[in-house]
Amino acid sequence: MNLPHTFSGFITGTFMSSDRRLRSARRCSVINYCVTHFVCLFSCHKLQESLLSSNSGYSNYRGILNWCVVMLVLSNARLVLENLIKYGILVDPIQIISLFLKDPYSWPALCLIIGMISGTISECTGTFLHCINLAALLFVPAGTVLSVSSMTPVGGVVALGVFTVLFLKLYSYRDVNKWCREIRRAKARTLSRSHSCPSVHKANGTTGYTHVSHPGNLTHRDIYYFIFVPTLCYELNFPRSPRIRKRFLLRRLLEMLFLMQLMIGLIQQWMVPTIQNSMKPFQDMDLSRIVERLLKLAVPNHFIWLIFFYWYFHSSMNFVAELMQFGDREFYRDWWNSETIPYFWSNWNIPVHKWCLRHFYKPMLVKGVNKLAAQIAVFFMSAFFHEYLVSVPLKMFRLWAFLGMMAQIPLAYFVGRFLRGNYGNAAVWMSLIIGQPIAVLMYVHDYYVIRCVL
- Residues in Cβ contact with 127 at an 8 Å cutoff, skipping those fewer than 6 apart: none
What are the Cα distances from residue 246, in Å, to 251, 263, 322, 326?
9, 26, 9, 15
Q: Degrees (nearest 5) of the Cα angle 56, 60, 63?
A: 125
Q: How far is residue 163's CA from residue 160's CA, in Å, rounded to a whole number?
A: 5
Query: If DSSP states are collapsed to H, E and C, what string results for 20-83?
Result: HHHHHHHHHHHHHHHHHHHHHHHCCCCCCCCCCCHHHCCCCCHHHHHHHHHHHHHHHHHHHHHH
Q: How far is residue 348's CA from residue 336's CA, in Å, rounded to a whole number?
A: 8
What are the Cα distances from residue 269, in Å, to 158, 259, 266, 276, 304?
22, 15, 5, 12, 12
Torsion of CA 442, 445, 448, 449, to 10 degrees: -110
Within a 10 A sphere around the Cβ of 436, how many other Cβ atoms? 17
Q: Which one from 195, 353, 359, 386 is the annotated catalytic residue?
A: 386
Candidates 442, 412, 441, 435; CA nearest to 424 is: 412
Q: How far is residue 115's CA from residue 175's CA, in Å, rounded to a whole number?
A: 14
**Is 302 a residue of the active site?**
no
What are the Cα distances from residue 430, in Å, to 274, 288, 295, 411?
20, 19, 11, 11
Query: Residues with catalytic annotation?
Result: 386
